[in-house]
Amino acid sequence: MALLSVRPEDNQQPFWELQWKLNNVPMEAVVLSNFVQIRGHKSIRLGIQNVADQQRCTINLFAHRIRETGIELKSAVCRIDGFEWIEMIQHGCQSTVLFTAIHTKNLISDSPQTLLIFRVLVTPSVRNYRFLLRDSTLKNHLWSAATKDGGNTDMDFRVQNSIFPAHKSLITARNAVLAAELQRAGDLAAIESYTTRRTRINVTDLNPETFQALLKYMYTGEFEFPLMNEEDFWRGVATYELTTLTSLSELSFQESLKPTDLIELLGSLEMMWREKPLPVRSPDSAEDATISNTGFVVRITGSISNDSDWNLKFQNETTFGWRHSTGPATNENDQTSNTHIYFFSSLNCNSDLFVYDVILRNQNNVITMIEPHKQDEDCTVQIFYANLTNVTHANASDESIYFDVFIRSSVEAVAVELVDIQHSEDLWKAAQEADGTDVEFRVGDEIFSAHRWLVASRSPSFAALFSDLLLKEAADCDVSFSPEKETDNVTSTRTTITIESMEPAVFRDLLKYMYTGTMNVAASKLLLIAAEKYQIVTLAKICRAAVREIDYEKLSFKLLSY
């Protein structure tokens, strides 16, 4: 197991963690965060009401127009650092939602810094979007290939006085309307016997800012709203028939906040009598709220009984387990006792994934489980502990408990991202069908077609090999080159590269990772060798984490400490 690349199962939900650091919170005040932007939208804002005489603090999370960014918020928990988690209550409609919670102590004013943490479960709001745990550098590499390395592009768009370089192969794979424009431009070039290789398409109905946003979407599968040209943006979406964005545009026009929704939101607020309103403190740049972590949360259910020791599967492998130990009665007059709960994970044994946190729930408690002997990420076993107090013996076998297991990747560049699933499918399909490809890799008896610009953007080693200066030195490498003429009015060179000492299946996995940022197979030492050789840094880190040797000193320490 190396990387989650499939849609989460029913018991798995992607989550975002937001962190908000506050400095010197007044005893009597309303404090607001900055807006957290999602795809250019000011979408999420956090707030607290600190009330000294009530000995309480109200914690709020406000989200507006978030569904049209491709995201829905399903539920949320929050906590002040050092305290337990609190379930937040949801109010409002789909377009605008308010989550609220009450902390039974007010924030201490003389504390130099207070950290508020929010965990929000998220889900896609339109069909073609999915949350995937993938290489987050993919989109940056592809977009940089167009914007920072224009020499490798083979066409451009003129929009008013601006020029946008691009790659025909990507535009053809990603958009049928522009593919037809390119075909017409190619036919015209043939008729007029053009000898230049570069094609230019004039765009007359959009402004440069809007077109750049649409072009970036085609390269990355992501978009940000042009702040001043939203109508122009949606008009461009309709003109170029961008399916996923069309679904989002429908949400944009359907889900404006209605008066009834606004009254319901106001009615959900807690109204307390005060002699004078609380002062409101504007957000400080040093107190910005940020999305700090992403991952998946897995909900595991069990019951406390003498025979309910559980070993649990995740991604088709037994990687989780839990046990319990019941202590003596805490009170002679009743049948209650303390129960120790232990949760185990071996997820880190053969993958880049690890358990970031475990929250234990029963009918009376929400408890953060403690990892007493937490060491560095090289340790392959994690053990979490919690104590349930006053568990009734008579009902123990019927009492349900729930583990919310929060999972992240240990590789910094691997994160949960909301992905237009057509983006990766379009590019990988174009490679498999040799659509617009200009390089072939011969590996054993198999041939793999690819796009030189994309492979070069993902692998510095291949980028160097594609350089004209290094072609002359190919005889000294384990790679050979054979130029072939393309059958077109424009002559170009199609390169065949022979890859020695690698299995075709390994190269296929390597190439697919370069195109999609995900993998459906377990990491192996052979894939690690290939990733290191061709300098695909994120893949190498994933494989290194998955195939590392078990540190038996750390493992024995963990096992013998309980």
Q: How confident is the model at residue 197 (pLDDT cuts 50, 70, 90)?
A: low
Q: What is the mean pLDDT of residues 188-205?
A: 71
Based on the domain organization, do 534 and 468 belong to the same domain?
yes
Domain assignment present for 1: no
Domain assignment present for 425: no
Q: Are 386 and 324 in contact (CB under 8 A)?
A: no
Based on the domain organization, do 279 and 332 belong to the same domain?
no
* Whole-number pLDDT of residue 302: 78
Q: Which two three-digit tokens encode residue 355?
A: 């358990």
| 414 vs 549, higher pLDDT | 414
- Only one residue has tokens 């299995």, namely 503
| Number of helices (H), then strands (E), in the chain | 15, 28
Give residue-wise pLDDT tens across range 93-135.
767 889 999 888 777 655 678 899 999 999 998 888 888 888 9
pLDDT at 190 over 80: no
Strand, coil or helix: 11: coil
- Which of 398, 426, 456 is at the close of a domain? 398
| 278 vs 48, higher pLDDT | 48
CB neighbour class for 219 (10 Å; exposed up to 12, middle 13-18, buried from 19):
buried
* Whole-number pLDDT of residue 351: 84
Q: What is the mean pLDDT of residues 39-57?
A: 82
* Whole-number pLDDT of residue 482: 52
- From 7-11, 105-109, 114-118, 441-445, the region with the lowest mean pLDDT: 7-11
Secondary structure element (H or E) that encloses residue 20, with its range:
strand 12-23
- Domain region containing 526: 437-547
51-89 burial, b if ≥16 CB within 10 A, otherwise e? beeeebbbbbbbbbbbbbbbbbbeebbbbbeeeebbebe
Q: What is the mean pLDDT of residues 192-202?
A: 70
Give residue-wise pLDDT tens across range 482-503.
544 433 433 345 688 999 989 9
Give residue-wise pLDDT tens across range 249-305.
776 655 555 666 666 666 666 655 455 566 777 766 657 888 888 999 998 887 776
For residue 201, give the CATH number of its domain: 3.30.710.10
Q: Which of 132, 44, 50 is nearest to 96 (CA)?
A: 44
Q: What is the DSSP string of 219-254?
A: HHS-----TT-HHHHHHHHHHTT-HHHHHHHHHHHH
Phi, psi for 183 (deg, rounded to 5): -65, -45
Based on the domain organization, do 49 and 91 belong to the same domain?
yes
> CA-CA distance, 335 to 384, in Å (whole number)?
26
Based on the domain organization, do 123 and 20 belong to the same domain?
yes
* Whole-number pLDDT of residue 348: 82
> CA-CA distance, 47 to 283, in Å (whole number)?
10
Based on the domain organization, do 230 and 261 belong to the same domain?
no
Based on the domain organization, do 271 and 125 belong to the same domain?
yes
> CA-CA distance, 189 to 6, in Å (whole number)?
43
The whole-chain average pLDDT of the chain stands at 80
Based on the domain organization, do 156 and 200 belong to the same domain?
yes
Q: How confident is the model at residue 215 (pLDDT cuts 50, 70, 90)?
A: very high
How many domains does the chain divide into? Answer: 4
Write out the E strands in 255-413. Answer: 280-281, 289-303, 310-314, 317-329, 336-345, 353-361, 366-368, 382-392, 400-409
> CA-CA distance, 415 to 457, in Å (whole number)?
20
Q: Which of 360, 296, 351 is nearest to 324 (CA)?
A: 360
Domain assignment present for 171: yes
Based on the domain organization, do 29 and 79 belong to the same domain?
yes
